[in-house]
Structure 1
Amino acid sequence: MSEQKGAETIPVRPGEDFDRERLLRYLREHLEDVPEGSMEVRQFPSGASNLTYLIRIGGWEAVLRRPPLGPLPPKAHDMEREATLLKKLHPVYPLAPKPYLLCTDPGVLGTVFYVMERRKGVVLDGSFPAGVDGTEEVGRQISETAVKTLVRLHTIDWREAGLESFGRPEGFLERQVGGWIRRYNKAKTDDIPEVEPLTRWLTDNIPQSPPATIIHNDFKLNNMLWDPPDWSSPVAVVDWEMTTIGDPLFDLAVSLSYWVRPDDPEELRSLLPTVTERNGFISRDTFLEYYAAQSGRDLSSIHFYMTFAYFKLAVIIQQIYARWKRGQTRDPRFASFGERVRGLIRYTTELARTGRVSFS
């Protein structure tokens, strides 16, 4: 994953460690270039889904990905699927890290996991890392590169790449709407009255999708690694667990749902702190204009996609909050996620009601 000065990795959180000696033996048995010496394990603190670790043995480094602890939704956090996807995707989209090995034997770490190459780079979350000058020109460069990177992904010939088995394009949007509504209901912990009319609106207003592409499904700045001062090409795009073959406008809207701007409502800005609030980053309008010009796609139905993208985000936060409330994770970051869900549902309901998106 990534390195940031001062907070690149953290000690492994309590309850999220594993049998290190067993892992070391497995790595030496299955990888040729693992050197002799002791193994250091650190945990990447960012991310709220799968658990990701830095493995270091001498000068050799790799990244290990495994599912979170506790009961998981069916088909969620599928490490075998993610590793297999990366094996096929990496040759045609080098920004996807190369997987080294997949372990399906639960006797090693108690779960399926995979190990992939280490890409070193800066992650952009709520602020620029120390030592990085976030000028207006830097914001513009990052914005333009993000659009180009997403468009490039959507131009891949997924059939030629052998990715047919990674999605069912026919009826994609209908399945997504129904599936995310079901996920919310399964993870529900508190009563939020706006949810029922919102989900009814989504079900009744599904547009016709454009031709399918491969979609990342969680494309955002903190799933990209950068090597400043060069902001024209990222080091990597990471976190491919939800990638599928589907509607590229859904992917676009998901990305824009994280593209928070300074004049957005406070409830949204507090939910999604990101550097895109800074001067220099393009507006959502401009992001859409760039995407439309580079991809040639019709964006006339983007209002639905944006509304659905915010609802999806609310469901993801609700699923994490449900795990915290049920004691399946001790991460203190998740204690406030219940209020975050309420605020996001209110925002999404207003978006559906007004029939427009404020692309500030």
Structure 2
Amino acid sequence: MIDTERLADWMDGTGLPGKGEPIEARFLSGGTQNEIYEITRGAERCVIRIPPAAAPPDRDKGILREWRIIEALDETDVPHTTAIAACEDTSVLGRAFYLMGFVDGWSPMEHKRWTEPFTSDLTLRPQLGYQLAEGIALLSKVDWRARGLDGLGRPDGFHERQVSRWTGFFERIKGRELDGMDVATRWLEDNRPIDFIPGLMHGDYQFANVMFRDGAPARLAAIVDWEMGTVGDPKLDLAWMVQGWPEDTSSEKASESSYVDLRGMPSRDQMVQHYAEVSGRQVDDLDYYLVLAKWKLAIVLEQGFQRAGDDHKLQAFGAIVPELMRSAADLAESTDYRS
């Protein structure tokens, strides 16, 4: 739990509003990497994001890296939480932390379903999808150098490092062979983009990591959870968003392909086209990014499966991972950029 007296002293010293008022902290969410609390002080309300006491020491650097991103997004068109203040001094609360604006709205991940009126009226759902695509398109347009994000990532050699980094990671966690991995890996090595326009990336862009305003029409309120944020190739974010998107969003299967019901959503092609229109980026080579997204996600989920123990949620990845890797290999084998 947050030491509200120490937090109040720090806020007073920083010159934030509410000096002398008591603080109330309400736990919102969190796990092994970060904890999030709503902070109320008089008429003021904000959110604190802080690693738990048991998190690895490098999470302090990670939290300050997140702060760099949300601070840089101020005065841009990207929906985001307002940057309020950050603290590097771990003597205040035991870990580095930052304060961000409270977002009035809802998270698809929190509810694992749509809120009304999107639950009952499928005709309102397409805008949820278009808003999701628009958020990441606007992010890709941010002038990251002008916003002070030099050094956040290393765009030079981005795709070369993706393959070498994640194959090395897989070897460290390997507990079984994955059908199609060799095929997909070779294809990625042979078909890297010759060139790309570097941009700001989220790294795990999906419905789970955005918030919407209440009511219709759908309006994206904020992109959240920036642990994987970097400067790289934004089209990987696009592929990550749509790699599991159902082909037919009018069928019952669309209600089973995600943690939320995707019936009534735009088609994958419509999502990609909207991204292209807003971002100004060409998407003719999207298949490369889809193979990379499926391949990388399979490796990420395999780590969870190998460490599952008695965790039934992580155990479920055992069946998902081979299907995902096989899907990456099948797409790679059906796509030939070099012929």
Match of 2:167 among 170, 178, 181: 181
Q: Deviations over 1:162-208 (max 9, x none)?
A: 2223222222222222223333333x152133244433332232222
- Per-residue deviation at 1:128? 0.9
Residue 170 of structure 2 is aligned to residue 190 of structure 1: no
Map of 1:316 onto structure 2? 300
Map of 2:321 onto structure 1? 341
Residue 233 of structure 2 is aligned to residue 253 of structure 1: no
- Per-residue deviation at 1:336? 3.5
- The residue type paired with residue 330 of structure 2 is E
* Deviates further, 338-347 or 234-243: 338-347
SS of equivalent to 2:142: coil
- The residue type paired with residue 62 of structure 2 is D
SS of equivalent to 1:229: coil
Residue 205 of structure 2 is aligned to residue 225 of structure 1: no
Distance 1:250 1:120 in 2: 29
- The residue type paired with residue 213 of structure 2 is D
Residue 66 of structure 2 is aligned to residue 82 of structure 1: yes
Structure-to-structure mapping, 1:9-20, within 5 angstroms: 17=1, 19=3
- The residue type paired with residue 250 of structure 1 is L
Percent sequence identity over aligned pairs: 28
Residue 283 of structure 2 is aligned to residue 283 of structure 1: no
* Deviates further, 152-161 or 101-110: 101-110
- Per-residue deviation at 1:78? 0.7
Q: Deviations over 1:210-242 (max 9, x none)?
A: 222222222222322112323353111112222
SS of equivalent to 1:239: coil
Distance 2:245 2:266 in 1: 9
- Per-residue deviation at 1:306? 0.4
Match of 2:199 among 205, 208, 213: 213
Label 1:352 to 1:274 Cα distance change in 2 as closer, same or farther (>3 A): farther
Residue pair 2:37, 2:49 contacting (<8 A) in 1 also: yes
Structure-to-structure mapping, 1:1-360, within 5 angstroms: 17=1, 19=3, 21-34=5-18, 36-44=21-29, 50-67=34-51, 78-93=62-77, 95-125=79-109, 126-129=112-115, 132-186=118-172, 188=173, 190-194=175-179, 195-260=181-246, 272-275=258-261, 277-279=262-264, 281-321=265-305, 325=309, 333-355=313-335
Label 1:111 to 1:200 Cα distance change in 2 as closer, same or farther (>3 A): farther
Residue pair 1:127, 1:274 contacting (<8 A) in 2 also: yes
- Per-residue deviation at 1:267? 11
Q: Deviations over 1:129-184 (max 9, x none)?
A: 35654523211222222233222222222222222232222222222222233333
Label 1:228 to 1:190 Cα distance change in 2 as closer, same or farther (>3 A): same
- The residue type paired with residue 104 of structure 1 is E
How large is the RMSD of aligned CA atoms in angstroms? Answer: 3.6
Label 1:53 to 1:343 Cα distance change in 2 as closer, same or farther (>3 A): farther
- The residue type paired with residue 151 of structure 2 is S
Label 1:259 to 1:72 Cα distance change in 2 as closer, same or farther (>3 A): farther
- Per-residue deviation at 1:95? 1.6
SS of equivalent to 2:151: helix
Label 1:127 to 1:302 Cα distance change in 2 as closer, same or farther (>3 A): same
Distance 1:93 1:51 in 2: 27
Residue pair 2:212, 2:220 contacting (<8 A) in 1 also: yes
* Deviates further, 308-317 or 332-341: 332-341
- Per-residue deviation at 1:305? 0.5
Residue pair 2:118, 2:125 contacting (<8 A) in 1 also: no
- The residue type paired with residue 348 of structure 1 is A
Distance 1:60 1:106 in 2: 24
Distance 2:218 2:258 in 1: 24
- Per-residue deviation at 1:83? 0.4
Distance 2:99 2:307 in 1: 25
- The residue type paired with residue 182 of structure 1 is G
Label 1:291 to 1:32 Cα distance change in 2 as closer, same or farther (>3 A): closer
- The residue type paired with residue 232 of structure 2 is G
Distance 1:295 1:182 in 2: 33
Q: Deviations over 1:109-131 (max 9, x none)?
A: 43322221111211124421356
Residue pair 2:51, 2:59 contacting (<8 A) in 1 also: no
Label 1:121 to 1:229 Cα distance change in 2 as closer, same or farther (>3 A): same
Q: Deviations over 1:15-35 (max 9, x none)?
A: xx4555544544444352246
Residue pair 2:48, 2:98 contacting (<8 A) in 1 also: yes
SS of equivalent to 2:104: coil
Distance 2:210 2:204 in 1: 11
Residue pair 2:305, 2:314 contacting (<8 A) in 1 also: yes
- The residue type paired with residue 352 of structure 1 is A
- The residue type paired with residue 163 of structure 1 is L
